[in-house]
Amino acid sequence: MTAPILSLKNVNKSFGPIDVLHDINLDLRAGEVLCLLGDNGAGKSTVIRLLSGVHKPTTGEILMDGKPVSFANPREASDHGIATVHQFGGTFPLMSIGRSFFVGLEPTKGWGPFKIYDRRRANEIAVKAVQSFGITRIDDGDRLVGGLSGGERQSLAIARAVHFGARVLILDEPTAALGVKQAAHVLRIVNEAKRRGLAVIFITHQVMHAMAVGDHFAVLIRGAIAADFHKGEKTREEITDLMAGGETMATLEAEIEGYMQAHDGHPPQVASPA
Amino acid sequence: MTSNSSIGGLLRRPEAGAFLGLVAVLIFFAIFGGVTFLKPAGMSSWLNVAANLGVIAIPVGLLMIAGELDISVGAMVPLGAMTVAVVSGHFGLSIWLGVALTLSFGVIVGLINGYMVIRTAVPSLIVTLGSLFAVQGIVLGLTVLITKSTSVALATEGPAKAIFGDFVLGGQLQAMVIWWLIVTAFYIFFVHFSRFGNWIFAMGGDKVSARNAGIPTERLTITLFVLSSTSAAFVGMCQAILYNSAQVAGGQSFIFNAIISVVVGGVLLTGGFGSVVGIFFGTITFAIVNQGIYYTDFDRNWSSLIIGVLLLLAVLMNNTFRKMALSYSSKKKGAKT
């Protein structure tokens, strides 16, 4: 097995008196999709914020290529090749595709104080980068980002990260707000990023989406890693149960089943006002 | 360049509404105001108004594109006028010293505004509302303390008079018109051709993403606040030099007039969308309505009604054009898979 690009070693994070993460150990390898699963409040977002430079671990360390790293801000994390794409793509709805693709790194032409933004080149590169991820519907870099579908925006953001040399891609619930078709779109792009040798951290609620692309799964429960396993080691039901916090899903199902039998399939009676 | 050459492409640009509005008011006043309105004397009346307003409206509009607002310009105009009048008129010092001090006060207030906006989470409307009143207080208090009057005379001669506050080109256009055209050209380059313009739009679109993309959002915010307050001080200074006197009051009208020009010009109030050319057109439109009424048989009192209706129409029209821009996909739909 190849050496991990990114590792968390015994990472703890607390905000004041509240401990959010306990002894997190995670390894991430190139060409691998790590699915980070867990219920709301389990600490998924905190893990992402540590990796993307928003917070620093209270104790423990983050290793990149075996060397300890510390990010003072998100900019430093992205300089190390860690790119985070948020739910809505983090792009600018009223900017053109070309302009938003190159925000902060605009290509220019000309010299001295007369350097001008090279719109034609920016559009060309942006469209080519997005199309190489299979989004052939985007063919005009002057279109506004806000006119794209949710899946296309995600794709644009991912293509942008890859173009600027990201090695680790963190996708924060990229499929949460999307329909079935759009989600499939994004999953294909995750696979494409993996094929290109990026390490992907994929955060999701949806076990189906995780199983479609994941190689490696980590389940967080109340700030600790409750399970860390590879593809094929657990069934979908087992993962769902883990995410819901142990056996609760089965218990809940049994409870509903029992209720339905006892009440002949009728919904609960609401006490009517006398 | 393909998408900008068609009529549809032109309509999707932020200044489309402003341009149509300008054409509409030009036709309206040409019909009801007669040809005098378009003769040099008539034109200079609204060009002078547009120039004084435009120099302030563009930086105010850029702040709005960046997601901020600066209403303290209303106090910076009398501050600029008073500074140069007190220094060079009351104390009789060199006009150039007055100019330098005026512009440095503009920079200082801009730095304070910008710094307070980035250091506190207070919206810039409130911050600059505070500095609007604070600066007004300082201007009134200090002027009365120093000169025992609320109006100070200023006599300027030589090159300073010609550069900042004289009539040019046949004696009806103010020097400010030249300044306005120069700074507009400068802003068009800065905003639409250099890469810094992209940063302003990104900042107004999504400040956190912009910062994560490596844009120095804080430095840019401060720079824009310095630009707007210095521009306002500059306009006040030029007016004092032109009219040979300065008053502590006045300047308040610039707040709303600048915002109207900017919004009519197609800038989105919440930031992220707009253009310098649009603000330029918006300013001219405002000035035409403001001055054109004198050339018609209508009662002067109706001009505010026209401006109000114009503002609402412009906003509605700009919303429509922005939706068109968003939904636009490609001209050659059939050819694509």
pLDDT computed for residue A182 by the predictor: 81
User: Residue B210: its chain A contacts at CB < 8 A?
Assistant: 92, 103-104
User: Residue A142: its chain B contacts at CB < 8 A?
Assistant: 3-4
pLDDT computed for residue A108 by the predictor: 81
Nearest-by-Cβ selection for B328 from A78, A93, A143: A143
Work out the minimum CA distance from A46 to partner chain B, whole angstroms. 17
Cα B246 from Cα B81, distance rounded (Å): 5
Nearest-by-Cβ selection for A104 from B215, B272, B329: B215
**What does the block give as tokens for B4?**
């900008």
C-beta of residue B191 within 8 angstroms of C-beta of residue B62: yes
Region of residue A246 (left: phi > 0; alpha: psi -120 to 50; beta: else): left
Residue B307 lies in a domain: yes
> Over chain B, what is the mean pLDDT?
86
pLDDT computed for residue B233 by the predictor: 96
Residue B6 lies in a domain: no
> Model confidence at B3, in pLDDT bands (50, 70, 90)?
very low
Contact map slice: B 170-189 vs A, CB within 8 A: 189
Least confident of A7-11, A61-65, B106-110, B322-326: B322-326
Region of residue B209 (left: phi > 0; alpha: psi -120 to 50; beta: else): alpha
pLDDT computed for residue A192 by the predictor: 87
Least confident of A35-49, B116-130, B245-259: A35-49
Residue B300 belongs to domain with CATH number: 1.10.3470
Chain A, chain B: beta-carbon pairs less than 8 Å apart: 93
Of the segments A258-272, B15-29, B218-232, B321-335, which one has the largest average pLDDT value? B218-232
User: Residue A140: its chain B contacts at CB < 8 A?
Assistant: 3, 329-330
Nearest-by-Cβ selection for B330 from A116, A139, A146: A139
Instruction: Pick from B209, B219, B270, B328 the residue to mutate for testing the A interface (most A CBs within 10 Å).
Output: B209
- Cβ contact (<8 Å) for A90 and B209? yes
Residue B239 lies in a domain: yes
Residue A98 belongs to domain with CATH number: 3.40.50.300
Which residue has better confidence, B7 or A66?
A66
Share of chain B above pLDDT 70, in %: 93
**Given CB atoms, is B212 within the 8 Å cutoff of chain A?**
yes
- Cβ contact (<8 Å) for A136 and B3? no
A142-152 as b/e: b if 16+ CB within 10 A:
bbbbbbbebbb
Work out the minimum CA distance from A263 to partner chain B, whole angstroms. 51
Residue B4 lies in a domain: no
pLDDT computed for residue B108 by the predictor: 96
Cα B113 from Cα B131, distance rounded (Å): 7
Cα B172 from Cα B175, distance rounded (Å): 10
Q: Scanning every residue of chain A, which has its alpha carbon at the shortest distance from the alpha carbon of B325?
A: A144
- Cβ contact (<8 Å) for A147 and B329? yes
Residues of A with CB under 8 A from a CB of B: 74-75, 78, 84, 90-95, 99-100, 102-106, 108, 115-117, 120, 136-137, 139-140, 142-144, 146-147
Residue B225 backbone phi and psi in degrees, to 5: -65, -40
pLDDT computed for residue B4 by the predictor: 44
User: Residue A91: its chain B contacts at CB < 8 A?
Assistant: 206, 209
pLDDT computed for residue A272 by the predictor: 59
Residues sharing a CB contact under 8 Å with residue B200, sequence separation 6 or more, in sequence order: B62, B65, B66, B191, B220, B224
Residues sharing a CB contact under 8 Å with residue B153, sequence separation 6 or more, in sequence order: B85, B89, B244, B245
Work out the minimum CA distance from A274 to partner chain B, whole angstroms. 52
Cα B52 from Cα B42, distance rounded (Å): 16
User: Residue B67: its chain A contacts at CB < 8 A?
Assistant: none
Residue B86 lies in a domain: yes
pLDDT computed for residue B26 by the predictor: 86
Residue B12 lies in a domain: no
pLDDT computed for residue B128 by the predictor: 94
Q: Scanning every residue of chain A, which has its alpha carbon at the shortest distance from the alpha carbon of B186?
A: A114
pLDDT computed for residue B278 by the predictor: 93
Residue B261 lies in a domain: yes
Residue A13 lies in a domain: yes
Nearest in space to B279 (alpha carbons), one of B255, B260, B296, B298: B260
Cα B51 from Cα B181, distance rounded (Å): 8
pLDDT computed for residue A270 by the predictor: 63
Work out the minimum CA distance from A122 to partner chain B, whole angstroms. 12
- Cβ contact (<8 Å) for A74 and B212? yes
> Model confidence at B39, in pLDDT bands (50, 70, 90)?
confident
User: Residue B326: its chain A contacts at CB < 8 A?
Assistant: 93-94, 144, 146-147
Cα A53 from Cα A51, distance rounded (Å): 6
ipTM above 0.90, yes or no: no
C-beta of residue B268 within 8 angstroms of C-beta of residue B111: no
pLDDT computed for residue B211 by the predictor: 82
- Whether the pLDDT of residue B59 is over 70: the answer is yes
Q: Scanning every residue of chain B, which has its alpha carbon at the shortest distance from the alpha carbon of A140?
A: B330
Residue B334 lies in a domain: no
Work out the minimum CA distance from A270 to partner chain B, whole angstroms. 46
pLDDT computed for residue B66 by the predictor: 93
Work out the minimum CA distance from B1 to partner chain A, whole angstroms. 8
- Cβ contact (<8 Å) for B202 and A105? no
pLDDT computed for residue B30 by the predictor: 83
Instruction: With residue B199 as reference, give the H or E element that holds it.
Output: helix B195-205
Helices assigned H by DSSP within B120-188: 124-147, 158-164, 175-188
Nearest-by-Cβ selection for A117 from B3, B193, B206: B193
pLDDT computed for residue B10 by the predictor: 67
pLDDT computed for residue A227 by the predictor: 82
Q: What is the mean pLDDT of residues B6-30?
A: 79
pLDDT by residue (tens digit) across B279-289?
999 999 999 88
Nearest-by-Cβ selection for B195 from A93, A94, A117: A117
Residues lower than pLDDT 50 in chain A: 274
> Model confidence at B337, in pLDDT bands (50, 70, 90)?
very low
pLDDT by residue (tens digit) across B167-224?
877 678 888 999 999 999 999 999 988 888 889 999 988 888 888 777 888 999 999 9
- Cβ contact (<8 Å) for B206 and A147? no
Paired sense of beta strands A6-15 and A18-28, if any: antiparallel
Work out the minimum CA distance from A178 to partner chain B, whole angstroms. 19
- Cβ contact (<8 Å) for B212 and A75? yes
pLDDT computed for residue B254 by the predictor: 93
Q: Scanning every residue of chain A, which has its alpha carbon at the shortest distance from the alpha carbon of B330?
A: A140
Which residue has better confidence, A234 or B256?
B256
Please tell me the total count of domains within chain B.
1
pLDDT computed for residue B332 by the predictor: 41
- Whether the pLDDT of residue B9 is over 70: the answer is no
pLDDT computed for residue B333 by the predictor: 40
Paired sense of beta strands B173-174 and A59-64, if any: unpaired
Which residue has better confidence, B287 or B38?
B287
Which range marks the domain in which residue B57 is found? 19-326
Cα A211 from Cα A195, distance rounded (Å): 17
Strands (E), A112-236: 116-117, 168-172, 199-204, 216-221, 224-230
Any bridge partners for residue B246, and if so which? B152
Which range marks the domain in which residue A78 is found? 6-262
Q: What amino acid occupies position B166? A: D
CA A118: distance to chain centroid?
31
Nearest-by-Cβ selection for A92 from B195, B197, B202: B202
Any bridge partners for residue A83, and if so which? A169
Please tell me the total count of domains within chain A.
1
- Cβ contact (<8 Å) for A142 and B4? yes
